Amino acid sequence: MPNLDQTRRVLMTFHHSTLVPVGFVENSRQTRIALGELKSPLPIFDDEMNNLFQQHLQKDQQVQLISDSFLRHFILIKIKNHHTMKDGYFWIGPFVYHEVQSSDIEQAFRRIKENVHISKKILSYYNQIPCVDAQQTIYFSHILHALLESNWNTPIFDQTFDQSFDQTHQHLVFPTQTKEHQEQFYKYTYRLERRFLERLKEGDSDAAELVKSVRDIPEPTFGHQDTIRSYKNRMISTITLIARTAIDAGVDEEEALSTSYYYVHETEQKLHLEDLFQLELIIVHDYLSKIQNHNKEHTYLMKACLQKVIDYIHEPVSIESLAFELNVRPNQLSSMFKKEVGIPLQQYIHQQKMKEIKKKLLNSDDSILDVANHYGYQSASHFSRLFKKYEGTTPSKYRKQSIDK
C-alpha cells in the first residue's frame, strides 16, 4: 500500500548519503517533497527544468538522464504501480560535471539568445550545485533503486535519520517487547555505534571488533522477516556513516564517497548473511587503512610544507604553489595545515617572512622596497600593510624605533 512516510525516508537517506538534491512529485500534484533543493536565482531556470521534466515524462523509459541549456543535469525516475510508493516521479539534481565559471554561464545564455548579467547571486547558485563525474550518476540511480526496494523496518536506519522526523519508530513492530525494552535497545545500540565511529575516526584498529559487537546485538522482532534484506539496509546506512567519518578524519572526500558507492553496489550483490558479514569487515578495514594512511601522510606532509616555506622564504609563495609542489589540492593543504599547526597557512607564511625581514631591517641599510623584494614582496605599499598587520607598526618606524633604542 502506498506510504508517504516511506517516500520521505527514501529521500532523506539518499540526500544525506550523497549530498545531492532529490525530490518526489506525485502524479496528482497533491504531494511534492524535496530535500537539498537549491533556490533558483532566475525564473527561467525553474521554467527550463519543469518543461524538460514534462517532456521526458511522456517517454517510455523509467530512468532518464536529462541535461538542460544551463549546464545542469538531472536524473528522472518514474514510479508506477510500486508496492509502497504513490505513482509519480523522483528527480535527482541539479548536478554539474565540472566547476562552472562565469564565462561558461555567459556562453550558455548566449546560446539561447538571452542577455543576462552574471550576478553574484547566479554565481553563488552554481557554486552550490554538486560537482560529480559520470560514473557517480550511475551509482545515484543504483542507490535510489536499492532504497526503493528496501525493507525499511531496520533499526540502524532509525538511528541515523534526522531527529526532526519524529515518527521514525512508529513502523517498527515489537510483538513481544515492552516500550522500556525498546528504549534500552536503541540507547545501547546508539552508544555502541558512536563508540565505533569515534574509534574509526582515530584510526584505532579496535573499531573492527566493535562492528562485531554491534552485529551480535539481539535485534527485536520485526513485522518483516527478510533477514538478508534487513541486514543489507543496515549495511548501506553504516557505509554512509563510515564514509562521512572518514571524510571528517581527513580522507579525501571524493575517494571516501566513491568507495562507499562501490561498497553499496557490492552489498546488493550478496545473497548470504555470511557473505555480508565478511564484506562488512572488509569495508571497515579498508576505511581504517585509508584513515591510518592519511594520519601518517598528514604528519609527513606538514613537515614537507614547513620546509618548503623556509626554502622559498625569498620568493613569492602562495598556497596554490605549495600545494602544486606537494601534489595536493590547495583547499586540502589549507585545511590540514590549520588542523595540525593551529593557524592558517597564509598567516604562517607571512609570519615566517616577517621574522627574517625584521632582522634584515636592523642589519642592513637597504631600502624598504629592496627588503620587500628580497623576500618576495613586489609592492612596497602591500608589504608595508602586511608588516603593520603582523608587527603593529610600519617597516620604517620599526627600523627607526630599534635604532633609537
Domain ranges of the chain: 4-133, 155-165+173-295, 312-404
Residue that has been written with the C-alpha cell 552489498 in this structure: 267
Contact 227, 179 (CB under 8 A): no
Residue 151: its pLDDT value, please?
56
Q: What is the pLDDT along the chain (405 residues), one digit of tens a residue?
A: 455 667 887 888 888 778 889 999 988 777 788 888 888 888 999 999 999 999 998 988 888 889 999 999 999 999 888 777 788 899 999 999 888 888 889 888 888 887 788 888 898 889 889 988 777 777 787 788 777 766 555 443 343 333 333 333 333 333 344 444 445 444 545 666 778 888 888 888 878 777 765 554 444 433 345 678 878 888 888 898 899 889 888 788 888 888 999 899 889 988 888 888 889 988 998 999 888 887 776 677 888 898 899 999 999 989 999 999 998 889 989 988 887 777 899 999 998 999 899 989 888 888 999 999 999 998 888 899 999 988 889 999 888 876 665
4-133: in CATH 3.40.50: no
Distance of CA 29 to the CA centre of its chain: 32
Residue 171: its pLDDT value, please?
38
CA diameter of the chain: 89
CATH homologous superfamily of 312-404: Homeodomain-like (1.10.10.60)
Residue 4: its pLDDT value, please?
64
How far is residue 170 from each of residues 175, 180, 346, measured CA to CA in Å? 13, 15, 52
Q: What phi and psi, each to the nearest 5 degrees, are found at residue 62?
A: -75, -40
Contact 46, 40 (CB under 8 A): yes
Residue 181: its pLDDT value, please?
45
Residue that has been written with the C-alpha cell 616577517 in this structure: 354
> Which 8-state DSSP code applies to residue 96?
B
**Is the four-CA dihedral 194, 196, 201, 202 of positive or negative sign?**
positive
Cell numbers found for residue 88 = 509519480
29, amino acid identity: R
Residue 178: its pLDDT value, please?
45
